[in-house]
Amino acid sequence: MKPAPFDFVRAASLDEALGVLKAEGSDARVIAGGQSFMAMLNMRLARPKVLVDIMRLPELATLAQARDEVVVGAGVRQAQLLAWPDLPRALPLIAKALPYTGHVQTRSRGTVCGSIAHADPSAELPLCLVALNGHVHLATAKARRKVAAADFFTGMMATAKADDEMIEAVSFPVAGGAGTAFREIARRHGDFAIVACGALVSGTAIRLAIGGVADMPAARDFPLLEGSALDDALNAFAYELDARDDVHASARYRRELVRRIGRATIEEALKCRA
Amino acid sequence: MPRLSAEGRHAVAFTLNGRAVDGVAEPRMLLSDFLRHVIGATGTHVGCEHGVCGACTVEVDGMLTRACLTLAVQVEGSAIRTVEGLAPAPDRLSVLQAAFRRHHALQCGFCTAGILMSLDAFLKATPRPDEAAVRDLLSGHLCRCTGYTPIVRAALEAAAELSATQEETAHA
Amino acid sequence: MLDVPQQDGWIGRAVERVEDAALLTGRGRFMDDLGTRPGTLHMAILRSPHAHADILGVDCATAGALPGVEAVLTGADIARLTTSLVVGVKAPVSCWPMAVERVRYVGEPVALVVARDRYVAEDALDLIEVRYATRAAVVDPLAAMDDGAPLLHDGFPRNTASDRSFRYGDPEGAFAAAARRVSIAVHYPRNSCTPIETYGLVAEYDPGEDAYDVLANFQGPFSIHAVISRALKVPGNRLRLRTPPDSGGSFGVKQGIFPYIVLAAVAARVAGRPVKWIEDRLEHLMASVSATNRATTLTAAVSADGRVSALDWDQVEDCGAHLRAPEPATLYRMHGNLTGAYDIAHVSVRNRVVVTNKCPTGLNRGFGGPQVYFALERLMQRIAVELGLDPLEVIRRNLVPAASFPYRTAPGALLDSGDYAGTLEAGIAEGGLAALLARRDAARAEGRLYGIGYAAAVEPSVSNMGYIATVLTPAERRKAGPKNGAQATATVSIDPVGSVSVHVASVPQGQGHRTVLSQVVADAFGLTPGEIRVNTEMDTAKDAWSIASGNYSSRFAAAVAGAAQIAAGRLAGRLARIAASQLNVPPDEVVFAGGKLSARSNPANALAFSRVAALSHWSPAQLPDGLAPTIRETAFWTPPELTAADEEDHINSSLCHGFIFDYCGIEVDRDTGEIRIDRYVTAHDCGTILHPGMVDGQIRGGFAHALGAALLEEYAYGPDGSFLTGTFADYLLPTATEVPDPVIIHTQTPSPFTPLGAKGVGEGNCMSTPACLANAVADALGVADIRLPLVPSGVAALIQGEERAAPPDAKPRGGAPKAAGAKGEKLMRGEGAAQVRAAPEAIWAMLLDPKTLEAIIPGAHGVEKISDTHFRADVTLGIGPVKGRYRAEVTLSDLDPPRAVTLGGKVEGNLGFGGGQGRITLTPDGRGGTEVAYVYEAFVGGKVASIGGRLLDGAAKVIIGQFFAALARRAGGAAGTTPRPGLLARLLSLFSRTPKEGGR
């Protein structure tokens, strides 16, 4: 269980990293914290020709609030974000969700942007990005663009990022007073979610994002429903997510959790707001 | 930096438990293999090579790190700590290690190195953890022998002992 | 070490372990920590992606030519240089450590490479080309016996390796006379104890002496030594088998390394250099060894007050693809104990052993006990429910009475000692059952789902080598010759300065044997444990051992420690005679204490232990007349109680029988089906406790394994034999956040049959705990059919009733909801549609054109047209960072131009295989374009299925979507919106941007 051979570039500048991506296209791959990708290398599921390590680029290691959004650079580890003193105030949903991401020992290395790039449908950070309507900042050697979360995730571990692009940063809008809650059901603590729910409740609307069910995190906006109307809305949402059976849970169970835990998450967010 | 070719063996140097070490590695060589088979530091064990079991956990530049999810070439110039660096002297155990021995917090001892590294870092950052926090930390490790309870007890007792020692030092 | 001399001796004290200082400081010496000789090569193994297939050809030329590769061997090479491994029953069936002509389970070795390092060896595996013709597979043991089921071995008709029936007492009479019959049918799942250290070995061959030297973290039983030497075609003295000083856990599993010893030994012989192999985790999960899964129907004859008079067992044991020695031992290990902790005079048994397309089975903690007690203790709970009794009362009424020990069970076990009712009552009182019952009442009053479960179990230890022969008929046994006993071996040595060393043929796997042996021998000599050095490495060329040697059947405390005490006692007796002659007292007046040998009546009249102990070295002439030297003593101990099976198949299958009584309170979450263990109490009687810390360690460790088996762990297989839990992210071990701390209660009834009164304790909770937790869930939910593992998804299905229907206007994205509850189902179905700006005729032409296919089959290079409807291509398929190269066959069928066509495909490559069929329909949209709609069924197997199961379905969607996106693009691009928004729109956007991203 050892990786296939590859060249290695420890990028000394962002331009160098982007230059490799430009020259090698899909044969190159960026490695940041490596917490998902290295396992795939070891299993030889991934066989890049060249790896580009971006973790020694100071310009990517930035974590800052700029006006109404928090910009997290590609070099920021999950543990750094979790330890950021402003996190509970600025991004309460992430403050609640991030402890569910892996374990202390993987958050210490894994990066925020790496998790977004990996686009695992059960992962917490992609869910938060979608729930919060965040953006992904993509760069090539020539150009930069900003993609909304809803457009970034395109399928199972599939994103709108082109081969010669890398994620420079992601940005999350700062909380605007909505009540937030996050709940997750997994087989064990720290496992990938069977169903993860992130809820934002404002004075006028409910936004519920679900991970672990569809091929990518999905968010839905509802008016301030309650009672059976909310149940109906969640039931429709549950079916629309097209849940699957796998070795850990049935599709029906996933839909059940969307209805039940989705509702509990919304109610918790409502309380949190009140 | 120059591109390190897949076929070549490239110099890698870092400090291991405070001492400079070096060797050569292909870009694909895992840090776990480099530590064990190039440097000869076999105290760090390999249990799954996909980052789940935690046996290979070491500290790289202050960060807990799965050595099996890290390439040797990535730690060039880093400061690495492993289980071999925990004891104050070859014939003495650290407070944490001694607590493990008292509580029978190990049986086969294969997963232990990684657990000690996690707890060592954790207790520095969290001097007075509660049981839930210790269990949360330990959930990043798999142990098949102990059922975990003795490890939790050893960790809590070591935490108490260490914080008492620190207080004494502070008062002195 | 607490170097305080104790009046009562060292046995029974929880001294700190001598093993720990090295293990805690990184100085352990595990298999892969030991250096190798210069020139040692590294082995890697190519494994079957198929559960059942004929091997049509293996092309190793490219792999063999890779720089750094020294040899590539296939099954034919192995078969040429070895003989078949021993098969566990008499049948015309062979068992090779590497597949010969046919593979029968996913992960079966197909070829091996030895190279300069493991990295290069794995590079070479990628270059071996194997052609397979797949066969139908069978994974369910009951289905395997059906007419027409795929047959694994011609020598096992109906896949049945053994079918024996037994009758003890008068079961028919008891059933006829009974007031009630209560029956239960259960399935015990597959799991494994997965030690954190995997298999490892180094093998060498000396052609001059035709001899093999193997260092392996093998745990025994050393009966397997004979199996290996036979396979290697050398006498036993030309197979030197050694073990490293430390082992990273085994729990039985490391018995299963032996086929790899044969492979590596042959590889070393061919390569002419030492060969090292360290199994990786994927190999371990897929193909090391598994516990058996078992389908059991168990029926009791019961009186109205719950007294059981007879049991009728029907067990179907699934040993996987090969019946490797010592199987079918798992089925017979408990044979004498089929009445559990109960006094039941009449028993009938039918035992069938079947083979299926799954990993072969072998030793695993509990070894047959979990399978038996899950049926028996679930039955006891059902008896209580069906008769309206308290389950605890049903247990109480049937326990073997305390006055009847030693008690002979109906199938022949001799229960050595115990006070089952006393231990049960101690558990109830000290564990707080009354409070737990009150908690259940309170919880239920609030409408919560709370249940209490009980389980009673007899834990056998020190197995009788002869129990396995019960699978043979009495006539076959007579022909095979006698087999019985449980030889334990220990050697105590004294060196010229009088220091004491101990060696045992025990091969500990982390339990702390060195510490306990130092306690036992220290007591014999009046020394401290710190003064005793214990070596537990094994070397079959130099050490005293026997076929029963090794670490299994919880035999250490009861047998091995006792043998050490006997050896030390013999030396002490001789030392006493030496001292007596110098102290001028009779030998029985000599006392060993505080490092001295002294006269009982006058402690000042004393000699230093070291002086007396060294006399045999320095001045043997001074030994009293006729006294043997005290330099080294080896004790072989076997209990006379372990006799061979008799003509009526009575078998005393184990020497010692501990007792366990467990109960627990659990709560089930109505919303999630999650099980929370409120309290778990386990009361044990394991005879004399030699080291309380280690006994509790064994109980906690066994409990954690059992909790995993009950709630989390299963080696899951798809219906086609695909292995679905190939990583530690899919095969889920309990962690510190899942394992509660059980309340442990001890009583001690020494065994009259063991030197120290000790019994085994390491496996009991693996037997009792799964049943106890299942009974609690049954109590909470009021359901009868409980399946392990109790995963939340399955538990929720038991309580949540019929699912709420989809709203009529629901639009599932990309496919209709599929049936729930299909565990491990890896057949994927989906559908989709695309609007294309081209007429149906134009699209039709494209589908039949190789150039178009090349452009639209994702990642295709070089489409070769075999016929108008058959194409071959190399394709690179990828999802996210996962990318593999495959050989693909594409066929078109059911052509209905230009309206519909069925597109079929099969791919095979390094990451596994896959295939599927899609029906494509072309409908004019009335605006000059076409709606291209498709439905597909796809399957995936091999490596991607076993390590990426969670993601497969979505991955298939992406790849199939890539195809249609490409088709749409080729035909002039997507036109407007699609009728099923969402998935397809996104898929269309995928094309031209192969998804790529950095690791996180």
Q: Report domain extents, chain B.
A: 10-85, 95-171
SS (H, E, C) C790-801: CCHHHHHHHHCC
Mean pLDDT, residues B159-172: 81
Chain C contact set for B108 (CB, 8 A): 23, 195-197, 246-249, 509-510
C-alpha span between C780 and C776 (Å, rounded): 6
Q: Are C536 and C550 in contact (CB under 8 A)?
A: no
CB contact under 8 A, B101 and C741: no
C-alpha span between B49 and A202 (Å, rounded): 45
CB contact under 8 A, B76 and A39: no
Taking the domain C828-990, which CATH number applies?
3.30.530.20
Strand partners, C539: C242
Which H or E run contains C426? helix C420-431
Residue C510 CB-half CA count within 13 A: 32
Taking the domain C143-191+290-468+643-796, which CATH number applies?
3.30.365.10
List of residues 6+ apart from A92 with CB closer than 8 A:
A175, A180
Q: Are B26 and B6 in contact (CB under 8 A)?
A: yes
Domains of chain C, by residue range, sit at 34-135+193-287, 143-191+290-468+643-796, 487-534+555-637, 828-990
SS3 content of chain A, % helix, strand, coil (to 5): 35, 25, 35
List of residues 6+ apart from B37 with CB closer than 8 A:
none
Query: Pick from A141, A173, A205: which residue ends a domain?
Result: A173
Residue A29 lies in a domain: yes
pLDDT bucket at B10, cuts 50 / 70 / 90? very high
Measured between CA atoms, the residue of chain A closest to residue C997 is A117
Shared-domain flag, residues A49 and A87? no
Give me the residue from B45, B49, B145 closest to C701, CB to CB: B145
**Among candidate residues C827, C991, C823, C954, the one with its CA nearest the CA of residue A241:** C954
Instruction: Tell me the per-residue pLDDT of A99-110, one tens digit each, with 9 for 90 and over.
Output: 999 999 999 999
CB contact under 8 A, B50 and A12: no
CATH number at residue A43: 3.30.43.10
List of residues 6+ apart from C514 with CB closer than 8 A:
C17, C18, C19, C508, C534, C535, C536
With 70 as the cut, is the pLDDT of residue B34 above it?
yes
Query: Pick from A125, A147, A173: which residue ends a domain?
Result: A173
Residue that is written with structure tokens 């928004």 in the block: C981
Class of domain B95-171: mainly alpha
CB contact under 8 A, B122 and A104: yes
**Judging by DSSP bridges, how do beta strands C160-168 and C346-354 pair with one another?**
antiparallel
Q: Are C554 and C761 in contact (CB under 8 A)?
A: yes
CB contact under 8 A, B3 and A9: yes
Shared-domain flag, residues A152 and A185? no
Give me the residue from A111, A215, A251 closest to C957, CB to CB: A215
Helix count and strand count (H, E) for chain B: 5, 5
C-alpha span between C338 and C167 (Å, rounded): 12
C-alpha span between C596 and A255 (Å, rounded): 75
Model pTM?
0.94
Token couple for A178 = 């909505």
Mean pLDDT of chain A: 95
Best CATH choice for the domain C34-135+193-287 from the list 3.20.20.80, 3.90.1170.50, 3.20.20.10, 3.40.1190.20: 3.90.1170.50
CB contact under 8 A, B50 and C729: yes
pLDDT bucket at B171, cuts 50 / 70 / 90? low
Q: Best of A6, A38, A111 to disrupt the B interface by mutation (most B CBs within 10 Å)?
A: A38
**Judging by DSSP bridges, how do beta strands C590-593 and C743-747 pair with one another?**
unpaired
Q: Are C655 and C637 in contact (CB under 8 A)?
A: no
C732 phi/psi in degrees, rounded to 5: -100, 115
Helix axes C369-387 and C764-781, enclosed angle (nearest 10): 30
Q: Best of C675, C731, C910, C996 to disrupt the A interface by mutation (most A CBs within 10 Å)?
A: C996
Residue that is written with structure tokens 């009950």 in the block: C710
Chain B contact set for C26 (CB, 8 A): 41-44, 82-84, 86, 113
Q: Of chain A residues 7-26, which have a CB less than 8 A from chain C?
A: 26
List of residues 6+ apart from C802 with CB closer than 8 A:
none
* pLDDT confidence of residue C977: 33
How far out from the chain centre does Cα C407 lie? 32
Shared-domain flag, residues A155 and A197? no
Which H or E run contains C427? helix C420-431
Residue A164 lies in a domain: yes
C-alpha span between A245 and A253 (Å, rounded): 9
Residues of chain C with pLDDT under 50: 1-6, 814-825, 975-1000
Measured between CA atoms, the residue of chain A closest to residue B47 is A1
Instruction: Compute how many other C-beta atoms are within 10 angstroms of the C-beta atom of residue A119.
Output: 26
Residue B4, burial from CB neighbour count under 10 angstroms (0-12, 13-18, 19+): buried
Residue A1 lies in a domain: no
* pLDDT confidence of residue A244: 85
Shared-domain flag, residues A79 and A168? yes
Angle subtended at Cα A264 by Cα A262 and Cα A267, rounded to the nearest 5 degrees: 110
Shared-domain flag, residues A195 and A250? yes
Shared-domain flag, residues A116 and A215? no
Q: Are C109 and C97 in contact (CB under 8 A)?
A: yes
Outline where C337-419 has alpha helix (H). Answer: 369-387, 391-398
Chain C contact set for B41 (CB, 8 A): 26
Query: What own/partner pairs with CB < 8 Å and gap ≥ 24 does C615-623 have?
Result: C615/C578, C616/C494, C617/C494, C617/C495, C617/C496, C618/C496, C623/C578
* pLDDT confidence of residue A255: 97
Topology classification of domain B10-85 = Ubiquitin-like (UB roll) (3.10.20)
Q: Are C642 and C460 in contact (CB under 8 A)?
A: no
List of residues 6+ apart from C602 with CB closer than 8 A:
none
CA distances from C459 to A127, C252, C603 (A): 49, 16, 44
Q: Which chains lie within 8 Å of chain C at 3 or more CB pairs, if any?
A: A, B
C-alpha span between B49 and B69 (Å, rounded): 7
Give me the residue from B101, B104, B109 closest to C246, CB to CB: B109
Q: What is the DSSP letter of B2?
A: P
CATH number at residue A190: 3.30.390.50
Token couple for A1 = 């269980």
* pLDDT confidence of residue C219: 96
C-alpha span between C633 and C492 (Å, rounded): 5
b/e code C310-342 from CB counts within 10 Å (16+ = b): bbbbbbbbbbbbbbbbbbbbbbbbbbbbbbbbb
Q: How far does the CA of residue C694 sit from the closest CA of chain B (Å)?
A: 8
Residue C992, burial from CB neighbour count under 10 angstroms (0-12, 13-18, 19+): exposed
Residue that is written with structure tokens 């939910």 in the block: C781
Q: How far does the CA of residue A2 sit from the closest CA of chain B (Å)?
A: 8
* pLDDT confidence of residue C207: 98
- Residue ranges making up the domain that contains A31: 7-53
Residues of chain A with pLDDT under 70: none
Class of domain C487-534+555-637: alpha beta
- Give the number of residues written for chain B: 172
Residue A103 lies in a domain: yes
Domains C143-191+290-468+643-796 and C487-534+555-637 alike in fold: yes
Token couple for C397 = 């009424």
* pLDDT confidence of residue C863: 83
CB contact under 8 A, A167 and C796: no
CATH number at residue A96: 3.30.465.10
Q: Are A165 and A139 in contact (CB under 8 A)?
A: yes
Residue C778, burial from CB neighbour count under 10 angstroms (0-12, 13-18, 19+): buried
CB contact under 8 A, C249 and B142: no
Token couple for C398 = 């049937």
Q: How far does the CA of residue C201 sit from the closest CA of chain A (Å)?
A: 17
* pLDDT confidence of residue C8: 77
C-alpha span between C539 and C240 (Å, rounded): 7
* pLDDT confidence of residue C983: 34
C-alpha span between C273 and C258 (Å, rounded): 20
Q: Best of C19, C23, C243 to disrupt the B interface by mutation (most B CBs within 10 Å)?
A: C23
Chain C contact set for A244 (CB, 8 A): 818, 953-954
Measured between CA atoms, the residue of chain C closest to residue B40 is C33
